[in-house]
A and B are shown apart, each in its own frame.
Chain A
Amino acid sequence: DSGVTQTPKHLITATGQRVTLRCSPRSGDLSVYWYQQSLDQGLQFLIHYYNGEERAKGNILERFSAQQFPDLHSELNLSSLELGDSALYFCASSGLAGGLYNEQFFGPGTRLTVL
């Protein structure tokens, strides 16, 4: 158990809909990262938040957005969903803003299926 929690575990929705994925980092971790894992794209970095502020953006679509709240939990919002958005979405947390010396601890993921 990494200490990172993600809800829900599974999510099934239809095209055009909007969903929210939630992540709670390990106690004390200020950084939250979101990744998308799909069969054709592999594990892709989406976005990084540190203590409520966006720090880095990766391959995140404009239809996707994220935020980190004062209690440090984070939400990833996916809108106008398409079939291709079906994937496993991981959240990870680490202790420092830009320090690479801390590993990223991954949650169990949310499996999103768009029908």
Chain B
Amino acid sequence: AQSVTQPDIHITVSEGASLELRCNYSYGATPYLFWYVQSPGQGLQLLLKYFSGDTLVQGIKGFEAEFKRSQSSFNLRKPSVHWSDAAEYFCAVGALVTGNQFYFGTGTSLTVIP
């Protein structure tokens, strides 16, 4: 069965520090992977997506993610965090077999301290 695990429920980083949010997936075929961000009181916004090709994908707001098939991971990174990055981050895997159903992780809440 398809599933996504985000092992870190909450992460706190200092502004200007680097960030890595972990995501592990379980899927029987080639995964289609996404990272979404949810700011307080807002809907989800797509940061980046991976379908195929280069395993390092660039997204909006300076984020990038690396797909590692051997580790079943799709970790999100940012070299220098800004206070405005404080939000909830969701990793998702798309499942073609059930009509583009998305399976979301439980999310990682990011706090940025000055």
User: Contacts A31-B100, A48-B99; is A100 near B43 (CB within 8 Å)?
Assistant: no
27 contacts between A and B (CB under 8 A): A4-B43, A33-B101, A35-B104, A42-B104, A42-B105, A42-B107, A43-B90, A45-B101, A45-B102, A48-B100, A55-B99, A56-B98, A56-B99, A58-B101, A90-B43, A90-B44, A98-B99, A98-B100, A100-B32, A100-B94, A103-B49, A104-B46, A105-B46, A106-B36, A106-B43, A106-B45, A108-B42
Query: Does any Cβ of B come within 8 Å of A25's Cβ?
Result: no
Complex Cα–Cα for A94 and B45 (A): 13
A109 surroundings in chain B (CB, below 8 A) = 43
Chain B interface category by residue count: 20 to 34
Interface size of A by CB at 8 A reads 30
Chain B interfacial positions (CB closer than 8 Å to A) = 32, 34, 36, 41-46, 49, 51, 90, 94, 96, 98-107
Query: Does any Cβ of B come within 8 Å of A112's Cβ?
Result: no
Query: Does any Cβ of B come within 8 Å of A28's Cβ?
Result: no
B105 surroundings in chain A (CB, below 8 A) = 42
Q: Please tell me if the beta carbons of A100 and B96 are within 8 angstroms of each other in the complex.
A: yes
